[in-house]
Amino acid sequence: MGKIEWTPALSVGVEIIDQEHQKLISLCNKLISNVKGDKDASMITESFKELRAYTVYHFDNEESYQKKISFPEANAHAQEHAKLKQDVKAFQQSLYREGFISEESVIAFLKKWLINHVLYQDMKMKTFLKLQE
Ligand SMILES: [Fe+2]
Ligand SMILES: [Fe+2]
């Protein structure tokens, strides 16, 4: 089963944000490889922690950037970030409850969680910036 891959289609046209998205993808892949083959539960916990911490860091940066460029949908975007933070926390908690998680379900969750957001929400920044040119 594959990992999550960065493609140019994910570029929002802002270098620092693209770099942070790439880092997020690499943390997602680290989590996926720790889930693979029944690795030590503490490694899974660690990679979840790392992913969540970087998510908070990235969302904060992105929200500041949106304020700086006067992105009109900044408030709605911040609400979506808040929901994504809750979703990843809920997913992590369900892992604790069930004690097992399949690689497929982690990949499916992370793809939907991160990639959909980047493609459909973060991409609106690209559209907005293009209009300012
Ligand atoms: Fe975002
Ligand atoms: Fe983002």
Domain contains 113:
yes
Q: How far is ligand 1, taken at its centre, from the CA of residue 114, in Å?
A: 9
Q: How far is ligand 2, taken at its centre, from the CA of residue 91, in Å?
A: 19
pLDDT at 124: 97
Domain contains 33:
no
Q: Which residue has the tokens 């409850």?
A: 97
Q: What is the dihedral of CA 107, 38, 28, 83, to 10 degrees?
A: 70
Domain contains 123:
yes
pLDDT at 116: 94
Q: How far is ligand 1, taken at its centre, from the CA of residue 127, in Å?
A: 14
| Nearby residues for ligand 2 (ion, Cβ within 5 Å) | 62, 122
Each residue's pLDDT tens digit, 87-110? 999 998 988 888 777 888 888 999
In this structure, which ligand is nearest to the CA of 16?
Answer: 2
Distance, C-alpha 112 to centroid of its chain: 9
Q: How far is ligand 2, taken at its centre, from the CA of residue 90, in Å?
A: 20
Domain contains 32:
no
Domain contains 117:
yes
Domain contains 3:
no
Which pTM value belongs to this model? 0.92
Task: Name the pLDDT band for 11 (thresholds 50, 70, 90).
Answer: very high
Domain contains 110:
yes
Give the number of domains in the chain.
1
Q: How far is ligand 2, taken at its centre, from the CA of residue 18, in Å?
A: 8
Q: How far is ligand 2, taken at its centre, from the CA of residue 60, in Å?
A: 9
The parent domain of residue 113 ranges over 73-133
Domain contains 42:
no
